[in-house]
Structure 1
Amino acid sequence: MNKLEIACFNLESAVIAQQNGADRVELCDGIEVGGTTPNFEVTTKVRQLIDIDLNVMIRPSGGDFVYSNEEFKKMKSDILHFKSLKVNGFVFGILDENNKIDIERNTELVNLAKPFPCTFHRAFDEVVDYKQALEDVVSCRFSTILTSGTYSNVIDGIDVLKKLVSQAQNRITIMPGGGLRSTNINHIQEVTQATFYHSSAITDGSQIANPEEIFKLKSNLK
């Protein structure tokens, strides 16, 4: 069966995700900017309360995905800090000023995170040339790309998502996310043939994942 990751912005959502069949939690803070590095103490509590895989976002600030030397230094120290919690992976992505993959910096972080796998997050949706960007991300040794197909949501980006899955040829996991819901996940699966899916499962404008939505998302996976 295909797998489901839930983006969680608090402890309550992480517990709800596990209780309703999610395979992995992506823990973040800063919902208003699409996710930032979570609080260390909250992450510690989440790790204590859930047994499913826990990936942690490493993003020092909202806005674009071009980071200063100080921000990059913070990303490195955060990875080392969170590794002590025995998380299962990290989520980040760095672009250069031309919206291309910053191969040098991303590779440094991937190597620092070892042996934990890394997901390149939706910074990927800002790139100009997604075909080249995929090859660059693969060269950095990421295990997964979280993407809506370079559009604002997975429905609009569905054709690009299909092309990315085909281009990836099992070298890297393409994980559709961004506007993914139980009402469209069957269509996304049929068209893209992806194997891992990502949603916040927030349906009411709050910051809490909807347990019924998570259950439906998971139930609709084939």
Structure 2
Amino acid sequence: MSKIEIACFNPESAIIASENGADRIELCDGLSEGGTTPDFETTKQLREKINIPIFVMIRPRGGDFTYSDEEFEQMKSAMANLKTLQVDGFVFGILNENDEVNIKQNTELVELAKPYPCTFHRAFDRARDLEKSLEKVIQCGFKTILTSGQKPNVSEGKENLKKLVELSGGRIEILVGGGLRSANIEELRDYTKAEYFHSSAITDNGNFSNPNEIAALKNK
């Protein structure tokens, strides 16, 4: 049985996930943009309804992962506000204009998030140089990297995912996500030796997580 994080783009999906065995929620807004910072009030209400861990996305917009000074200030402000809600962690990732991990800005946000842990999200899959990027993310103080192995999806990225699990040596958790489904989780777990997996569990191109898919992911 794997540990499962469900990416939820609305509170309904988060409640479905919590009722069907998810270990953790990644709460976002902006499904069409691949995830942006959720609304404060939505997060507050959800925190009152579910008791599994909620990791909150901090991302001011879709598109690339290089942010202006104003956008970076927005990220800091959003995190400071959301911290007051007793969430369990934060999810973000900042690259510089050369598509390298921005050590200064990421470290600043990791420090601001304390005592809550942080996940470096799939900005990692756009970052240059797998090994150097891994070391930089560890240096910034992240506890987890969400990645498809720098490929479009986890099936294509499985060799890199296996390599990341080996290279990380337990220093950081490799959270396997991006095209993950109950149909491929067993093969990926056996091949990569990863222990934590991430999926939206959306199976119909809609907006809501599928309870049967969540249960299937958890029980494979």
Q: TM-score, normalised by structure 2?
A: 0.99
Q: Please give the alpha-carbon distance, in whole angstroms, between the structure 1 residues aligned to 2:207 and 2:167.
A: 35
AA aligned opposite 1:114:
K
Q: 1:46-70, CA deviations, whole angstroms, 9 ceiling, x for partnerless residues?
A: 1011100000000001000000000
Q: 1:31-83, CA deviations, whole angstroms, 9 ceiling, x for partnerless residues?
A: 10110000111111110111000000000010000000000000001110000
Percent identical pairs in the alignment equals: 58
Confirm whether residue 70 of structure 1 aligns to residue 70 of structure 2: yes
AA aligned opposite 1:62:
G
User: Secondary structure at the residue paired with 1:106?
Assistant: helix
User: 2:107 — aligned with what?
Assistant: 107
Q: Please give the alpha-carbon distance, in whole angstroms, between the structure 1 residues aligned to 2:189 and 2:143.
A: 20
Q: Please give the alpha-carbon distance, in whole angstroms, between the structure 2 residues aligned to 1:47 and 1:130.
A: 35
Confirm whether residue 39 of structure 1 aligns to residue 48 of structure 2: no
AA aligned opposite 1:168:
S
User: 2:199 — aligned with what?
Assistant: 199
Q: Please give the alpha-carbon distance, in whole angstroms, between the structure 2 residues aligned to 1:128 and 1:76.
A: 25
Q: What RMSD over aligned residues (CA atoms) do the two structures have, in Å?
A: 0.6
Q: Please give the alpha-carbon distance, in whole angstroms, between the structure 1 residues aligned to 2:206 and 2:108.
A: 36
Confirm whether residue 15 of structure 1 aligns to residue 29 of structure 2: no
Q: Please give the alpha-carbon distance, in whole angstroms, between the structure 2 residues aligned to 1:207 and 1:46.
A: 17
Mark the runs of 5 or more structure 1 residues left unpaired by the alignment. none
User: 2:124 — aligned with what?
Assistant: 124
Q: 1:92-132, CA deviations, whole angstroms, 9 ceiling, x for partnerless residues?
A: 00000000000000000000000000000000000120110
User: 1:213 — aligned with what?
Assistant: 213
Moved beyond 4 Å, runs of 4+:
none
Q: Please give the alpha-carbon distance, in whole angstroms, between the structure 2 residues aligned to 1:185 and 1:128.
A: 26
AA aligned opposite 1:130:
L
Confirm whether residue 166 of structure 1 aligns to residue 160 of structure 2: no
AA aligned opposite 1:37:
T
AA aligned opposite 2:104:
E
AA aligned opposite 1:186:
E
User: 2:55 — aligned with what?
Assistant: 55
Is the Cα–Cα contact under 8 Å of residues 8 and 14 in structure 2 kept in the other structure?
Answer: yes
CA positional deviation for 1:186: 0.1
User: Secondary structure at the residue paired with 1:198?
Assistant: strand
User: 2:138 — aligned with what?
Assistant: 138
User: Secondary structure at the residue paired with 1:212?
Assistant: helix
User: Secondary structure at the residue paired with 2:55?
Assistant: strand
AA aligned opposite 1:153:
N
Q: Please give the alpha-carbon distance, in whole angstroms, between the structure 2 residues aligned to 1:109 and 1:130.
A: 22
Q: Please give the alpha-carbon distance, in whole angstroms, between the structure 2 residues aligned to 1:181 and 1:2.
A: 12
AA aligned opposite 1:218:
K
AA aligned opposite 2:21:
G
Is the Cα–Cα contact under 8 Å of residues 2 and 219 in structure 2 kept in the other structure?
Answer: no
User: Secondary structure at the residue paired with 2:43?
Assistant: helix
User: Secondary structure at the residue paired with 1:115?
Assistant: coil
Q: How many residues align?
A: 220
CA positional deviation for 1:2: 3.1
